[in-house]
Amino acid sequence: MSQDLTEEQIKNALQGISVPPQPQIMVDLQMEQVMPDPDPKTIARLISQDPGLSGSLLKIVNSPFFGLANRISSIQQAVNLLGVTRVINIINAQSIRGEMTDENIVNLNRFWDSAQDVAMTCMTLAKKIGCVEPDEAYALGLFHNCGIPLMLKRFPQYMQVMEASYASPESRIVDVENQRLNTNHAVIGYFTAKSWLLPRHLCEAIASHHNTQNIFMQDEHIDTGLKNLLAILKMAEHICESHRVLGNQSVDHEWAASGAQILEYVGLSEYDFECIEGTCREMMATGEGRYYQD
């Protein structure tokens, strides 16, 4: 991605947009992570300093995706179950929320919930299909749209632009945003992820996640790892109905354009995918029940 953009394009893309810095708790956790023997007690102590972060961890670990017999309330137990990598990803996501005004946070409630749902579904798909590490799939699901709140912070009319971009069957979502705003949430998400020192291949997937139709038609020239990540993400977005939750649209135009190629790529029939889709939606419905209510 960075090799494809000129300095002028980067400057234009980031004009007026402040990419949030790595949060201090994240820095402290990374310092602990690189120790020869990371101390879960130290990690839990750091997290316990932030009530919002503590609540997010408990909400995630008590969700149906982890299948615990009893809900837990211990941050220490949550850290042990989630693992250091996933904990750090959640902290990064929370840092975006800290950049927002109260009004924008209210406007973006559907974004926060959607990010968590897609992340959990990505993790589930990765476990079932096996082409991506579950933690990497979770991270991509959590961060793929991390540019959206930053776009809203810069452009008050962004929610209307986003809905219009999901409504167009002929154009990519990022093309509509580029035409109206001279930048898009995928490129802003890329630079945000890069500033957080996420792995390069995850940054590239964030940058490319609205270019799947082209990517899955270029079998010989696209990195397999990138295609694996995007296949998982696009299936998860379709299952979680991102087109309806974020775009306020009844039709998933992206899936209509590339879904068949994606299923062929991962070796799933339509029936196989419908079964997986049903399982994932059942897990959602027994959790918060946010999006599958008519």
Q: What is the pLDDT of residues 56-112, one digit of tens each?
A: 787 788 888 777 888 787 888 888 888 877 877 777 777 666 665 666 666 666 777
Residue-wise pLDDT tens digits, 236-273:
999 999 999 999 999 999 999 999 999 999 999 999 99
What domains sit in the chain, N to C, each tagged with a CATH number? 1-19+102-294 (1.10.3210.10), 21-98 (no CATH)
- Place 3 in a pLDDT band, splitting at 50, 70 and 90: very low
Q: Tell me the pLDDT tens digit for each residue of 47-60.
A: 877 655 776 787 78
What's the whole-model pTM score? 0.75
Structure tokens at 247: 């775009």
